[in-house]
Structure 1
Amino acid sequence: MNILVVDDEEVIRSGLERTITRQFPEHRVLLAGSPAEAVELLRSRPVDLVLTDVLMPGMTGLELMAFSRAKQPQVKWVVISAYSEFAYAQEAVRLGARAYLLKPIGKDSLIALIEELGCEIAEERERGREADLMKRNLRFLREAVLARWFAGLDLKGTELAPFAEDHPHFHLVMVRLESDADTKLEHFIVENVLTELMEASGRGFVASVDSRCLLGLVTLREGSGMSGLNDQLRSHLKRYLKTPFQVMHSARIEDLAAVPAEVRRMRASMAAQGYEHYTSGGEKAIEVAVQYIHTHYSDEISLEKVASIVYLNPVYFSQLFKQRTGSGFKEYVTQLRLAQAMELLRSSELKIGDIAERVGYPDVRHFSQIFRKKTGFTPSEYRQETGQGETDEAGEGI
C-alpha cells in the first residue's frame, strides 16, 4: 500500500513516516511538504491513502481532497488537525474523509487506523482491478484523441468506436492558463473542477493537451445548457486558480470530422481574448503574502520568493499585490522596514547599524540613504528630533 503524508511541517512528516515504516515495513510512505508536491505525487504515483494536514500555505488539505475526488475516487483520506481546527475536521468527514487525527497524533490510534484501512484497500483493489484497467485504457484513448485534435493531427488508425458511441453529439471546452511558471497545480484544479461540472450536466472528460491548455468534451443531458456550465466553470476558476485564465466553448458538434477546424477557431479566438483573474483565492494568497512579509521583513526578501510561496506567477502576483494593498511590493516592504526602524529609533538605544540589520538592511550606508530619501532625516537626526539619545553618525555615509 502506498501512503502519502502531506504536511508543511517537516517534523510531523518525519514522525509519521517513522511510525508507519516501523510498524508496516511492507507499506511505502511518500512525503509532500506542500499541496503542489502532493498534486505531483498523486498524478505520477499510485496512492492508496493520504494523510493530510488541514492548514497549509497556498491550498488547504480540504481543497486538495475536494479536487481529487473526481479523478481519484479510490483514494482514502485521513485529515490531521489541531483541536482548534475541529470544524475543518468535521468538514473533511462531510467531504468523504474516512477519519481525522488530532495533534499530537497517538501512535496506537494511527497504527489501528492504518491496519483497518489497509484491509479495506486490499479488498477493494482485488474487486476493482479489471474494471480499473478498462477505465484507464479508455481514458488514455480519450486523452490521445483530444491531444491530436488540439495539435491539428488527423485520427487515422485510431479506434473511435467506443468514443463515438458514448458521444454522438458534444461540445468542446477549452481552458488556457497564462503563466510562465509550473502550472501542475492549476492543471489539476481545472481538470477536477471541469470533470465534476461535466458529470453534473451530462457526461464528458478533460485532458491537459500542453503546458498551458486543457481541452474538455461534454455531452449534455436534456435540459442542460453550455451557458450554465460555462458560468459555473468561470466562477469556480476565479475562486481557486492562482493564475489568469481563459475559457471558451464550442457550439454543438455532431460530426467528428468538424472538430479539427473548430479547435483551430477556438485557439484563434483565444489569441484575441483577454484573461480573467481569480477573486477570493487571490485575496487569500495576498493575505498569506502580507503575513509572510511582516514575519520575514528582516530577512532577504524578494517579490519572486514571496510569489513562489503563495504559488503565483511573479508578474501576476505583483499586479494583484498592488491592487489589494495599494502599494507596489518593493514600496510596501520599504515602508514596513522604515516604520520598524523609526519605532526602534524612538524606543531603544540600539546603534544605528544594529537597527539597520534588524529591519533587513545589512549595509548601514544603504539604509541611511533610503531613510533620508523617504523621511527627509538621517536616522541620527530622526532620533534627535524624537528626543532619543545623542547623535550616532558613524557609518551612515551621509
Structure 2
Amino acid sequence: MNILVVDDEDVIRSGIERTIKRSFPEHRILLATNPAEAIQQLNSEAIDLVLTDVRMPGMTGLQLMEISRRSHAHVKWVVISAYSEFAYAKEAVHLGAKEYLLKPIGKDILISMISKLGDEIARENELSKDVYLLKGNLRFLREAVFARWASGLDLGGIDLKPFIENHPYFQLLMIKMESDLDVRVEHFIVENVLTELIESMGRGFVASIDGKSLLGLVTLSEESSMHQLVEQLRSHLKRYVKAPFQVLHTDRISDFAKVPAEVQSMRKASASTVYDHYASGGGQSIEVAFQYIKTHFHTELSLEKVAAIVYLNPVYFSQLFKQKTGSGFKEYITHLRLERAMELLRTSDLKITDISERVGYPDMRHFSQIFRKKNGNTPSEYRRCMSEIHSVEHL
C-alpha cells in the first residue's frame, strides 16, 4: 500500500512515517510538505491512502481533498488536526474522510487505523483494480481524441460516433491560464473543479488542450444554464487557482463538425478577453505601476519593463491596465507626457527642446508630431495661444 503523508510540520511528518514503517515495513510512505506537493504525488504515484493536516499554507487539507476526490476516487483520506480545529471534522466526514485524528496522534491509534484501512484497501483493490484501470484508460483515450479533434488535427480514422451519440447538442467551455510559472497544480485544479460542475449540472467531460488551456464539453440539464455554471466555476477558481485565468464559452452546438471552428473562434476571442483577478492581488500591483509611471514617465518606458517591475505577466498586465484605466498602456503614457508638456508650455520659459526631453521625447521633431496629432497645433502654436489668452485675461 502507498501512503502519502501531507503536513507542513517536519516533526509530525517524520513521526507518522517512523510509526508506520516500524509496524508496517511492507507499506511505502511518501511525504509532502504542502498541498501543491501532494497534488504532484497524487498525479505521479499510485497512492492508496492520504493522511493530511487541515491547516497548511496556501490550501487546507480539506480543500486538497475536495479538488482531488474526483480524479482519485479510489483514494482513502484521513484528516489530522489540533483539538481547536475540531470544527473541521463535520466537513471532513461530509467530503468522505475515513477517519479524523487529533494531534498529538497516539501511536496505537495510528497503527490500528492503518491496519484497518490497509485490509479495506486490499479487498477493494482485488475487486476493482482492473475495472478502475480500464475506465481510466478509456477516459484518457476519449479526452485525447477530443482534444486532437478540437485542435483541428487528423484523427487517423478514429470513429467519432460515440461522441455524437452521447451529445446530440452541447456547449464548449475554454479555461485559459496566463502565467510564466509552472501551472501543473492549477491545471489539475481546473480539471477537477470543472469536471465536478459538469457532472452536477448535466453530462460531459474535460480535455487538456495544452499546459495552460482546458476544454470542457457539457450537455446541460434542462434546469441548468451556462451562466450559472460559469459563475460557479469562476467562484471556485478564484478560491483555488493562483494564476490569472479566463473562461470562454460557446452557444449551443448541434453539429459536432463545428467544434474545431468554435475552438479557433474562442482562441481568437481570448486575445481580447480580460483575465480574472486572482489571489496575489493584481489590483494592488496596478496601483504600484501607476506610481512608478508617474515618477518615471520622462524615461524610456515599455509595457514589458513596467510589468516586470510589478511581477506580472505582460499579457495579464496589459489587460488589467486597460480594465483599470480604460486606455492602453502606450496611450496612457502619451496622455501623461503631453499633459505635463502643456503645463510646462503654459507656466515656464523653457525651450521646446528642453520640454520635449523632460517629458520623455529626446527627438523634438517626433514630440511635435505627436503633440500636433493630439492637440491640433504644434507646441509653439499652443504656447503662443496660451500666452495671448493670458494677456487678454489681464487687461
1:154-303 to 2 correspondences below 5 Å: 154-278=154-278, 282=279
1:59 Cα shift? 0.5
How has the CA–CA distance of structure 1 residues 168 and 125 changed in structure 2, closer, same or farther, with 3 Å as cutoff? Answer: farther
1:25 Cα shift? 1.4
Provide TM-score, normalisation by structure 1: 0.68
Q: Give 2:384's aligned residue.
A: none
- For residues 189 and 210 of structure 1, the distance between their equivalents in structure 2, rounded to whole angstroms, comes to 15
- For residues 188 and 282 of structure 2, the distance between their equivalents in structure 1, rounded to whole angstroms, comes to 18
1:290-329 to 2 correspondences below 5 Å: 314-315=311-312
Q: 8 Å contact 2:150–2:259 — kept in the other structure? A: no
- For residues 62 and 282 of structure 2, the distance between their equivalents in structure 1, rounded to whole angstroms, comes to 16
Provide TM-score, normalisation by structure 2: 0.69
Provide, for residues 181-226 of structure 1, a one-character-per-residue CA deviation record: whole Å limited to 9, x for no partner: 1112211221111111101111111133212111111122223221
How has the CA–CA distance of structure 1 residues 58 and 284 changed in structure 2, closer, same or farther, with 3 Å as cutoff? Answer: farther
Query: SS where residue 147 of structure 1 aligns?
Result: helix
Query: SS where residue 77 of structure 2 aligns?
Result: strand
- For residues 90 and 230 of structure 2, the distance between their equivalents in structure 1, rounded to whole angstroms, comes to 31
1:127-146 to 2 correspondences below 5 Å: 127-146=127-146
- Which runs of no fewer than 5 residues in structure 2 stay unpaired? 284-309, 321-395
Matched, 1:82 2:79: no
Query: SS where residue 312 of structure 2 aligns?
Result: helix
- For residues 201 and 209 of structure 1, the distance between their equivalents in structure 2, rounded to whole angstroms, comes to 23
Q: Give 2:392's aligned residue.
A: none
Matched, 1:105 2:102: no
Q: 8 Å contact 1:146–1:209 — kept in the other structure? A: no
Provide, for residues 63-88 of structure 1, a one-character-per-residue CA deviation record: whole Å limited to 9, x for no partner: 00011122112111101111111112
Provide, for residues 252-271 of structure 1, a one-character-per-residue CA deviation record: whole Å limited to 9, x for no partner: 22222211111100111011
1:314 Cα shift? 4.3
Matched, 1:16 2:16: yes
Counterpart of 2:268, as a letter, is A
- Which runs of no fewer than 5 residues in structure 1 stay unpaired? 287-312, 324-398
1:60 Cα shift? 0.5
Q: Percent identity?
A: 64
Q: Give 1:124's aligned residue.
A: 124
1:50 Cα shift? 0.3
Q: Give 1:373's aligned residue.
A: none
Q: How many residues align?
A: 290
Query: SS where residue 315 of structure 1 aligns?
Result: coil
Q: Give 1:305's aligned residue.
A: none
Q: 8 Å contact 1:170–1:217 — kept in the other structure? A: yes
- For residues 73 and 284 of structure 1, the distance between their equivalents in structure 2, rounded to whole angstroms, comes to 34
Q: 8 Å contact 1:36–1:184 — kept in the other structure? A: no
- For residues 184 and 105 of structure 2, the distance between their equivalents in structure 1, rounded to whole angstroms, comes to 31
1:29 Cα shift? 0.9
Provide, for residues 156-200 of structure 1, a one-character-per-residue CA deviation record: whole Å limited to 9, x for no partner: 322434333322322111001111111122112211111111011
- For residues 267 and 280 of structure 2, the distance between their equivalents in structure 1, rounded to whole angstroms, comes to 30
- For residues 83 and 265 of structure 1, the distance between their equivalents in structure 2, rounded to whole angstroms, comes to 53
Alpha-carbon RMSD across the aligned residues, in angstroms, is 2.4
Q: 8 Å contact 1:146–1:215 — kept in the other structure? A: no
Counterpart of 1:66, as a letter, is E
- For residues 41 and 67 of structure 1, the distance between their equivalents in structure 2, rounded to whole angstroms, comes to 14
- For residues 10 and 84 of structure 2, the distance between their equivalents in structure 1, rounded to whole angstroms, comes to 21
- For residues 40 and 192 of structure 1, the distance between their equivalents in structure 2, rounded to whole angstroms, comes to 14
Q: Give 1:39's aligned residue.
A: 39
How has the CA–CA distance of structure 1 residues 8 and 256 changed in structure 2, closer, same or farther, with 3 Å as cutoff? Answer: same
Q: 8 Å contact 1:202–1:218 — kept in the other structure? A: yes
Q: 8 Å contact 2:242–2:280 — kept in the other structure? A: no
How has the CA–CA distance of structure 1 residues 221 and 132 changed in structure 2, closer, same or farther, with 3 Å as cutoff? Answer: same
Counterpart of 1:315, as a letter, is L
Query: SS where residue 209 of structure 1 aligns?
Result: strand
- For residues 162 and 130 of structure 1, the distance between their equivalents in structure 2, rounded to whole angstroms, comes to 23
